[in-house]
């Protein structure tokens, strides 16, 4: 992290040309520990963040680690002093930052090494330590207040049933100092709870001790640099070992201990110490004299959520303002957005499928309806007209028939009379003839009715009539798997015709042709429609099929009304078609010379 | 009130808008010996109809304007009971049922067979005559009863109830002799000779 920071700082400097007025701001950060100490690393990160937030644009940061906690003999210190002296002899520093009391002491004592007037900014020093030092006015710092009491308050909030507090400290001088501080803060009883102090044990001894405690105990481990056996530790690692086998929650006062298995504490993080140091340094560099000499680092409850779960502590007991770490979000919490997105996609998918299914069904239904309509259209000459025929016919013909019958019967009776009333008989005959003629008129009128009103002729293209009619019957033909070949000899064949009637004829002929081939295999179901113009000017439309054909006698019979070769046929189609043909001034005939099926020839004059 | 004599010949009324049919049917029925009156519309028939005269009606169902059923209803509401024979060009079961339920005598299809028609007409006229006779008798009975004095009516009641003269006398608070006298006069006025006839007449009047 620091490496990246240094790189970032040096790159802009390399790019810009260094003129005499372009001197970068030089900062030295001196740590009393070694660089791998987590606390030191956090401070370093914080300092970098704080410096770059509001700091000068061109910065050059130097970091040196004194490591005087591990190497606490005077010889080492001497070595370090000489090293630093040599290193910074020719370097003009703008500010010196000291992290930790050891570093601060050194800097104050050997101020001349870094320039007597160079301002000093320190941090990671407790309020007590700072108070015990005589600080010149140009030495400003961020002091930490390790609040053992507030940590215990937090512990009691989380473990209200606690009956004992156990404070564990190591054998190093630093550790011993902490035991003293703890005793000062907590004494033998805090908030009505007994406090016990344990030290002088080996690491295994601490582990054993922690493992056998009743559940109503609170353990506080401020620091453990060395155990009774002289074994040296990074306190974090020592605490981690103890926490693994501990039977009760362990609390700490250093934020850097979080993550080892301790539950937490009331702390200021080292990171925030670093950032506040960095910000303070920035202000000092700007020449801001308004900052107070000592400012307290922000602190608050810090909790490892995994421990809350491990010890079965009611989450509601955790203070609302606590900083929570290691909270394993459930799949829902972690991937909430993804889950929502996925669910939405899923539902969209499902609803799309449902909608499409319904649309498909609807379309099928519509298609079926359409097909039905087309079928009905195709059978126009049968359904509607037949309906009309039966109704009208029945009634209209019934009337003259009734009177004919009554008259005849009366006549029969009269013939029995003596004498026979010849006058009356003559009248009867007249009336019968009259009624017969009436009946004949009815038939004629009916025929006209069948042709749907008057036959009004207009100029049109026979080819077009054919193509539009075939389009109408398409679905029907498709269903019957019958192919239709339309051969149009000329680009257009003008005729004078009545379109609906013309269509009726074409439809009728085509459907008859299809019917004739019902028994054949699909591949053989082919209808050929040909339009041409004869030399004599007549226009011709032929419909050919490959069915069983029509015998000579049938050719005459089929044009008679009520004669049908089909079981369910009514035998009106061709009769009507011929009437239409005649009405157009044309003819409708079978081709006698064709014997590979049936061919019907419809002629009509050209326009 | 006119008294209908049994000698008045019944009239067959024909109602059809088709002139040829009217003419031919009249011819047929006439030759068979019936009195026929033709009408070209329902309205014309209803207007000229005299319910007191015997007869029957042959109605074409499919008339313009008011149809055959309309006539049936009109006659029905006027409480006249002319027997109706329907003639129709098409067979419509619901119509038939409706007509029959409304009291039609018969329902025939065109073209109609002569024998069938004549048989129906005879039946209709017979029914009509029957009904008239009954209603006449009823009327006569009522008239006769109306001509009785209060005392004679009381005696009538007693005789019809099957009481002896003695008992009637006791009821009326008079003597048997007086009762006998009243009884004699009553029987005369009622034009009956037996008690059975008296009972029949009296129940007829009451129905």
On whether any CB of chain B is under 8 Å from the CB of A514, the answer is no
Return the pLDDT at B82. Answer: 86
Residues A69 and A572: their CA atoms lie apart, in Å, by 120
Residue to test with chain B: of A393, A406, A435, most B Cβ within 10 A:
A406
Instruction: Fill in the DSSP letter of residue A142.
Output: E
Contact indicator for A606, A492 with CB cutoff of 8 Å: no
CB contact under 8 A, B24 and A424: no
Residues in chain A: 607
pLDDT of A405 strictly over 90: yes
Distance from CA of B16 to the nearest CA of A (A): 11
Average pLDDT of chain A is: 85
Contacts of A395 in chain B (CB under 8 A): 62, 89-90
Question: What parts of chain B have a pLDDT lower than 50?
Answer: 1-3, 5
Nearest CA in chain A to B17: A399
For residues A284 and A6, the model is more confident at A284
On whether any CB of chain B is under 8 Å from the CB of A431, the answer is yes
CA angle (A367, A370, A375) in 5-degree steps: 125
Phi, psi of B32 (to 5 degrees): -80, -5
pLDDT of A378 strictly over 80: no
- 10 Å CB burial of residue A347 (0-12, 13-18, 19+) is exposed
Contacts of B89 in chain A (CB under 8 A): 394-395, 398-399, 402
Percent of chain A with pLDDT over 70: 88
Nearest CA in chain B to A404: B24
**pTM to 2 decimal places:** 0.39
Indicate the range of A189-193, A342-346, A454-458, B35-39 predicted with least confidence: A454-458
pLDDT tens for A491-537 read 889 999 988 888 888 988 998 898 899 899 988 999 999 999 988 88
Mean pLDDT of A420-443: 90
Return the pLDDT at B115. Answer: 92
Return the pLDDT at A472. Answer: 78
CB contact under 8 A, B25 and A406: yes
Integer angstrom CA distances of residue A467 from A375, A463, A472, A473, A488: 17, 6, 9, 10, 10
CB atoms within 10 A of CB A362: 10
CA angle (A546, A593, A468) in 5-degree steps: 50
On whether any CB of chain B is under 8 Å from the CB of A393, the answer is no
Phi, psi of B101 (to 5 degrees): -65, -30
Return the pLDDT at A392. Answer: 60
Distance from CA of A594 to the nearest CA of B (A): 46
Residue B89 is nearest to which of A398, A404, A428, comparing CB atoms? A398
pLDDT band of residue A569 (cuts 50, 70, 90) is: low
**What is the SS3 assignment for A460?**
strand
CB atoms within 10 A of CB A432: 20
CB contact under 8 A, B111 and A398: yes
Residue A399 is nearest to which of B23, B30, B89, comparing CB atoms? B89
Return the pLDDT at B99. Answer: 79
pLDDT tens for B105-145 read 898 888 888 999 999 999 999 998 988 888 888 889 999 99
Return the pLDDT at B80. Answer: 66
pLDDT band of residue A15 (cuts 50, 70, 90) is: very low
pLDDT tens for A479-488 read 788 999 999 9
pLDDT of A461 strictly over 50: yes
For residues A56 and A536, the model is more confident at A536
Contacts of A414 in chain B (CB under 8 A): 31
pLDDT of A98 strictly over 90: yes
Nearest CA in chain B to A434: B20
pLDDT of A381 strictly over 80: no
Can you point out the beta strands (E) in A319-468?
A: 323-325, 458-461
Contacts of B34 in chain A (CB under 8 A): none
Integer angstrom CA distances of residue A484 from A432, A473, B150: 52, 10, 101
List, in sequence order, every residue forming a beta bridge with A604; answer none if it has no partner.
Answer: A539
CB contact under 8 A, B23 and A398: no
Return the pLDDT at A168. Answer: 92
pLDDT of A597 strictly over 80: yes
- Interhelix angle A422-450/A573-583, nearest 10 degrees: 80
Phi, psi of A297 (to 5 degrees): -75, 150
Return the pLDDT at A448. Answer: 63
Return the pLDDT at B15. Answer: 93
Residues B167 and A587: their CA atoms lie apart, in Å, by 103
Mean pLDDT of A378-401: 64
Indicate the range of A18-32, A380-394, A449-463, A566-580 predicted with least confidence: A380-394
pLDDT tens for A336-348 read 888 888 889 999 9
pLDDT of A447 strictly over 80: no
pLDDT of A55 strictly over 70: yes
CB contact under 8 A, A402 and B111: yes
A193-220 core/surface letters (b: 16 or more CB in 10 A; e: else): bebeebbebebeebbebbeeeeeebbbb
HSE-CB of B195 using CA atoms within 13 angstroms: 12
pLDDT tens for A407-431 read 999 999 999 988 899 999 999 999 9
Return the pLDDT at A78. Answer: 92
ipTM for the whole predicted complex goes beyond 0.85: no
Distance from CA of B149 to the nearest CA of A (A): 57
Residues of B with CB under 8 A from a CB of A: 18, 20-21, 23-25, 27-28, 30-32, 62, 87, 89-90, 110-114
pLDDT of A286 strictly over 80: yes
- 10 Å CB burial of residue A415 (0-12, 13-18, 19+) is exposed
Distance from CA of B118 to the nearest CA of A (A): 11
Residues A404 and A434: their CA atoms lie apart, in Å, by 9
Residue A407 is nearest to which of B24, B89, B110, comparing CB atoms? B24
């Amino acid at each position: 992290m620091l490496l990246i920071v240094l790189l970032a700082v040096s790159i802009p400097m390399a790019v810009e040309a260094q003129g005499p007025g372009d001197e970068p701001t030089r900062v030295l950060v001196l740590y009393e520990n070694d660089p791998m100490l987590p606390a030191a690393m956090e401070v370093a990160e914080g300092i970098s963040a704080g410096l770059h937030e509001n700091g000068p644009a061109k910065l050059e940061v130097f970091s040196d680690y004194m490591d005087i906690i591990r190497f606490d003999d005077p010889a080492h210190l001497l070595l370090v002093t000489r090293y630093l002296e040599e290193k910074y002899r020719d370097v003009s520093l703008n500010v010196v930052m000291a992290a930790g009391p050891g570093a601060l002491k050194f800097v104050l004592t050997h101020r001349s090494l870094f320039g007597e007037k160079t301002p000093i900014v320190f941090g990671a020093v407790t309020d007590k330590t700072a108070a015990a030092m005589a600080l010149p006015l140009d030495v400003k710092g961020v002091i930490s207040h390790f609040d053992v009491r507030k940590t215990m308050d937090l512990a009691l909030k989380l473990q209200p049933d606690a009956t004992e507090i156990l404070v564990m400290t190591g054998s190093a001088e630093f550790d011993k100092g902490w035991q003293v501080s703890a005793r000062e803060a907590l004494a033998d009883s805090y908030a009505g709870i007994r406090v016990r102090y344990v030290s002088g044990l080996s690491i295994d001894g601490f582990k054993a001790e922690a493992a056998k405690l009743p559940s109503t105990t609170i353990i506080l481990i401020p620091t453990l640099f060395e155990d009774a056996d002289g074994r040296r530790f990074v306190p974090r690692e020592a605490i981690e070992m103890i926490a693994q086998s501990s039977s009760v929650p362990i609390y700490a006062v250093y934020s850097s201990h979080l993550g080892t298995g301790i539950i937490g504490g009331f702390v200021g993080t080292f990171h925030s110490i670093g950032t506040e140091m960095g910000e303070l340094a920035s202000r000092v560099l700007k020449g801001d004299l308004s900052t107070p000499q000592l400012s307290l680092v922000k602190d608050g409850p810090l909790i490892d959520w995994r421990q809350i779960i491990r010890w079965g502590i009611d989450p509601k007991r955790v203070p609302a303002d606590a900083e929570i770490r290691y909270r394993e979000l459930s799949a829902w919490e972690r991937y909430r957005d993804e889950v929502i997105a996925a669910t939405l996609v899923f539902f969209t998918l499902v609803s799309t499928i449902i909608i499409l299914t319904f649309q498909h069904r609807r379309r099928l239904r519509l298609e079926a309806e359409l097909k039905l309509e087309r079928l009905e259209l195709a059978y126009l000459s049968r359904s509607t007209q037949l309906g009309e025929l039966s109704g009208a016919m029945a009634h209209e013909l019934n009337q003259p028939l009734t009177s004919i019958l009554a008259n005849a019967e009366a006549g029969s009776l009269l013939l029995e009379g003596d004498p026979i009333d010849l006058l009356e008989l003559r009248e009867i005959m007249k009336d019968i003839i009259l009624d017969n003629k009436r009946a004949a008129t009815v038939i004629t009128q009916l025929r006209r009715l069948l042709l749907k009103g008057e036959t009004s002729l207009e100029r049109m293209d026979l080819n077009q009539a054919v193509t539009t009619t075939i389009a109408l019957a398409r679905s029907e033909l498709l269903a019957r798997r019958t192919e239709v070949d339309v051969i149009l000899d000329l680009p257009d064949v003008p005729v004078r015709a009545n379109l609906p009637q013309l269509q009726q004829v074409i439809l009728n002929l085509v459907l008859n042709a299809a019917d004739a081939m019902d028994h054949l295999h699909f591949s053989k179901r082919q209808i050929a429609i040909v339009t041409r113009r004869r030399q004599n000017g007549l226009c011709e439309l032929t419909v050919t099929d490959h069915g069983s054909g029509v015998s000579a006698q049938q050719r005459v019979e089929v044009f008679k009304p009520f004669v049908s070769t089909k079981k369910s046929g009514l035998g009106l189609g061709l009769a009507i078609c011929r009437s239409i043909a005649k009405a157009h001034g044309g003819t409708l005939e079978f081709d006698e010379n064709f014997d590979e099926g049936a061919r019907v020839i419809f002629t009509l004059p050209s326009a | 009130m006119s008294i209908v004599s049994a000698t008045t010949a019944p009239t067959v009324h024909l109602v059809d808008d088709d002139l040829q049919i009217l003419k031919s049917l009249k011819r047929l029925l006439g030759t068979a010996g019936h009195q026929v009156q033709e009408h070209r519309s329902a309205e014309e028939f209803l207007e000229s109809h005299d319910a007191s005269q015997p007869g029957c009606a042959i109605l074409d169902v499919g008339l313009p304007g008011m149809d055959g059923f309309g006539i049936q209803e009109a006659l029905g509401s006027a409480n006249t009971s002319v027997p109706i024979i329907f003639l129709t060009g098409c067979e419509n079961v619901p119509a038939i049922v409706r007509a029959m339920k409304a009291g039609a005598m018969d329902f025939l299809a065109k073209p109609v067979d002569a024998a069938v028609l004549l048989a129906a007409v005879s039946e209709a006229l017979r029914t009509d005559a029957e009904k008239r006779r009954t209603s006449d008798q009823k009327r006569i009975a009522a008239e006769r009863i109306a001509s009785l004095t209060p005392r004679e009516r009381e005696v009538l009641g007693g005789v019809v109830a099957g009481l002896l003269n003695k008992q009637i006398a006791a009821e009326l608070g008079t003597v048997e002799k007086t009762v006998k006298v009243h009884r004699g006069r009553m029987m005369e006025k009622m034009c009956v000779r037996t008690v059975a006839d008296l009972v029949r007449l009296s129940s007829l009047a009451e129905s």
